Amino acid sequence: MTSDTIAALATAPGEGGIAIVRVSGPDAPALLRALFRPERDFESHRLYYGHLCADGETVDECMAVLMRAPRTYTREDVAEIHLHGGVWAARQTLDALYRLGARAAEPGEFTRRAFLNGRIDLSRAEAVMSLISADSSRAARAAVRQLDGGVSAFIRAAQAELIALLSGAAAAIDYPEEISFEEAAGDIGPRAEALAQRLESACDERGARIAEQGIEAVLCGRPNVGKSSLLNALARQERAIVTSIPGTTRDIIRADVMIDGLRVHFSDTAGLRDSQDAIEQIGVDRARRAIAGADVVLTVLNAGEEETDEDRELLRDTQDLPRIIVLNQCDRPMALRPADFDRPVVVSAATGEGIAELEKRVAAFGAGAGESALTQQRHMALAREAAGALRSAARICREGEDVSLAVIDLQAALGTLGRVTGEQVDEKLIDDIFSRFCVGK
């Protein structure tokens, strides 16, 4: 536990219904009593009504709670003062606390103390920031699983398996007359390979990115097939200009839509065709780059017109990409037969027909996003590093080398996994992680 006491605004600054000032450290009870006048004496974890006074003047009519260690967020004595929302009362309260000896908290310092005092491990501390920044239910659920110890449990299980492997190797080294190196290698090698596979399978970078950032869905097609109208229908608002003039859209127009708890970034692109117009050609080039980087490509055809050479070329160019064929303008007489295409979605941007089915198909490309055991880039990089060390140990055992060489790789893997939860971590990494937090958390 640290020896000083910190204070900060725990809610967003500015006007609001409530502003909470949080204090943590050994002087928190004394500081609260110096400023807050409750109607009766404090009991831990009870919210009291009273008045906050500083320099002999009443700052606010408010509520306050004193929470005694270790049953607090930081495992230190913690006080919270619940003021009316706004700048002045919170500023006056913090200034009074600083005059009485509290120190302004640094970004993430409350959570950092929770980690240093053993209440949470490093992976759960990172989950706090992920939950705060989550802007979709998928991202929030992934953060909550991590906060509940999902990553910790997975890593602990892998560490337990590694310790068992190290014990087997140590037994062969210490008692070669009872356990031969060949017997030990025959057991350690396959188990190390299997554990490496489990660690790599737990890493789903695409799913983690989609859960956190959303799906990139790009609408493409030749001019005047209704891409802009379709974007507006998906966005439920007028995002793109719609005219009968081919080539109206020259740049990428984006609209964010929430579908099944997943954020989807729809992009309307310039109609794909050869053009002598320099500006339009730049738009076409951008469209092709967007298609190449999309999670799903919506290849849009005009269902009311016969298939053109440009349509056929587009279908060929996108056939190896994650794709949904969209037959738009089905409210008009159909010139295209859905049976001639691979699982097309038939829609009308004008009437809304088929839009729900299209959204369902797009969201399916994010199925399972954020549900893997490891969802943070740092954790996945460390898991892959540990898997590499395990595969090296497995190779040593398979090729009949000295088992003591495999021990070096097994110990390296164990240390690497310890960096996920913070058991093996340096001050620089801790500083880097908590510097991304907001003040007050």
Domain assignment of residue 370, yes or no: no
> Both 71 and 199 in a single domain?
no
> Both 51 and 178 in a single domain?
no
CATH number, domain containing residue 285: 3.40.50.300
> Both 312 and 402 in a single domain?
no
Domain assignment of residue 308, yes or no: yes
pLDDT in tens, 234-271: 988 765 544 454 544 446 788 899 998 899 999 888 66
| pLDDT surpasses 90 at 177 | no
Domain assignment of residue 441, yes or no: no
> Both 13 and 66 in a single domain?
yes
> Both 102 and 132 in a single domain?
no
Residue among 342, 137, 369 at smallest CA distance from 260: 137
Domain assignment of residue 371, yes or no: no
Binned at pLDDT 50, 70 and 90, residue 223 comes out as: confident
- Domain stop point among 306, 336, 364: 364
Q: How much is the pLDDT for 271?
A: 61
> Both 244 and 349 in a single domain?
yes
Q: How much is the pLDDT for 273?
A: 52
Domain assignment of residue 47, yes or no: yes
Percent of the chain with pLDDT over 70: 92
> Both 343 and 251 in a single domain?
yes
Domain assignment of residue 210, yes or no: no
In whole angstroms, give the CA distance from residue 388 to residue 413. 8
> Both 181 and 243 in a single domain?
no
Domain assignment of residue 40, yes or no: yes
> Both 272 and 233 in a single domain?
yes
pLDDT in tens, 133-171: 888 888 888 888 888 888 999 999 999 999 999 988 888
- Domain stop point among 60, 95, 119: 119
Task: Tell me the residue range of the domain where 389 lies.
Answer: 125-204+382-434
What is the total count of domains within the chain? 3
Q: How much is the pLDDT for 245?
A: 47
> Both 92 and 136 in a single domain?
no
> Both 251 and 272 in a single domain?
yes
CATH number, domain containing residue 95: 3.30.1360.120
Domain assignment of residue 335, yes or no: yes
Rounded average pLDDT over 49-73:
94
Write down the pTM of the prediction: 0.78
CATH number, domain containing residue 388: 1.20.120.430
- Domain stop point among 310, 329, 364: 364
Mean pLDDT of the chain: 87
Rounded average pLDDT over 410-431:
89
Binned at pLDDT 50, 70 and 90, residue 293 comes out as: confident
> Both 355 and 391 in a single domain?
no
Greatest Cα pair distance, the chain, in angstroms, is 87
